[in-house]
Structure 1
Amino acid sequence: MQNKIHGVYLVTDRPLCLHHKLEEVVQMAASGGVSLVQLREKDSTSREFLELAMHLKFILSPFQVPLLINDRVDLCLASGADGVHLGQTDLPWLEARRILGKDAIIGLSIETKEDFATLTKEDPNPQLEYLAVSPVFDTPTKTNTKEALGLAGVRWLKEKTDIPVVAIGGINISNAKDVIGAGADMIAVVSAICSAKDPKQATVALRNLF
Structure 2
Amino acid sequence: MPSLGRLHLVTDTRPGRDPLTVVRAALTAARADLVVQVRVEDSATDREAYDLAGRVLALCARYGATCLVNDRLHVALAVGAAGGHVGADDLPVAAARHVLGPTGVLGATARAPETAVAAVTAGASYLGVGPCHATSTKDGLPDPIGPTGVRAVADAVDVPVIAIGGVTAARVPALRAAGAYGVAVVGALSAATDPAAATAELLRALA
Match in the other structure for 1:164: 160
Name the SS of the counterpart of 2:136 in structure 1.
Answer: coil
Whether 1:41 and 2:40 are equivalent positions in the alignment is: yes
User: 1:50·1:75 contact (CA, 8 Å) conserved in 2?
Assistant: yes
Shift of 1:196: 1.1
TM-score by length of structure 1 reads 0.89
Whether 1:31 and 2:28 are equivalent positions in the alignment is: yes
Match in the other structure for 1:112: 112
Whether 1:206 and 2:205 are equivalent positions in the alignment is: no
Which of 172, 191, 196 matches 2:192? 196
Shift of 1:90: 0.8
Name the SS of the counterpart of 1:147 in structure 2.
Answer: coil
In 2: Cα distance, 1:82 partner to 1:117 partner: 23
Q: 1:100 to 1:27 in 2, by over 3 A?
A: same
Q: What's the % identity of the aligned pairs?
A: 33
User: 2:111·2:149 contact (CA, 8 Å) conserved in 1?
Assistant: no
CA-to-aligned-CA distance 1:104-147 (integer Å, 9 cap, x gap): 11000003344235446xx3xx4322111121112111223222
Task: Output the amino acid matched with 2:112.
Answer: T
Task: Output the amino acid matched with 2:124.
Answer: L
User: 2:110·2:128 contact (CA, 8 Å) conserved in 1?
Assistant: yes
Shift of 1:197: 1.5
Match in the other structure for 1:84: 84
In 1: Cα distance, 2:118 partner to 2:190 partner: 34
Match in the other structure for 1:185: 181
Match in the other structure for 2:65: 65
Q: Which has the higher contact order (CA 8 A, sep 6+)?
A: 1
Q: Which runs of 5+ in 1 are unaligned?
A: none
User: 1:68·1:85 contact (CA, 8 Å) conserved in 2?
Assistant: yes
Q: Which runs of 5+ in 2 are unaligned?
A: none
Task: Output the amino acid matched with 1:38.
Answer: Q
Q: 1:16 to 1:129 in 2, by over 3 A?
A: farther
Match in the other structure for 2:9: 10
Number of residue equivalences: 203
Q: 1:17 to 1:161 in 2, by over 3 A?
A: farther
CA-to-aligned-CA distance 1:138-176 (integer Å, 9 cap, x gap): 211122322211110111111111111000001012212
User: 1:36·1:68 contact (CA, 8 Å) conserved in 2?
Assistant: yes
User: 1:83·1:105 contact (CA, 8 Å) conserved in 2?
Assistant: yes
Task: Output the amino acid matched with 2:75.
Answer: L
Name the SS of the counterpart of 1:201 in structure 2.
Answer: helix
Match in the other structure for 1:149: 145
Shift of 1:69: 0.9
TM-score by length of structure 2 reads 0.90
Q: 1:25 to 1:16 in 2, by over 3 A?
A: farther
Q: 1:131 to 1:166 in 2, by over 3 A?
A: same
Task: Output the amino acid matched with 2:37.
Answer: Q
CA-to-aligned-CA distance 1:43-83 (integer Å, 9 cap, x gap): 32111111111111111101111111111111111121111
Match in the other structure for 1:135: 131
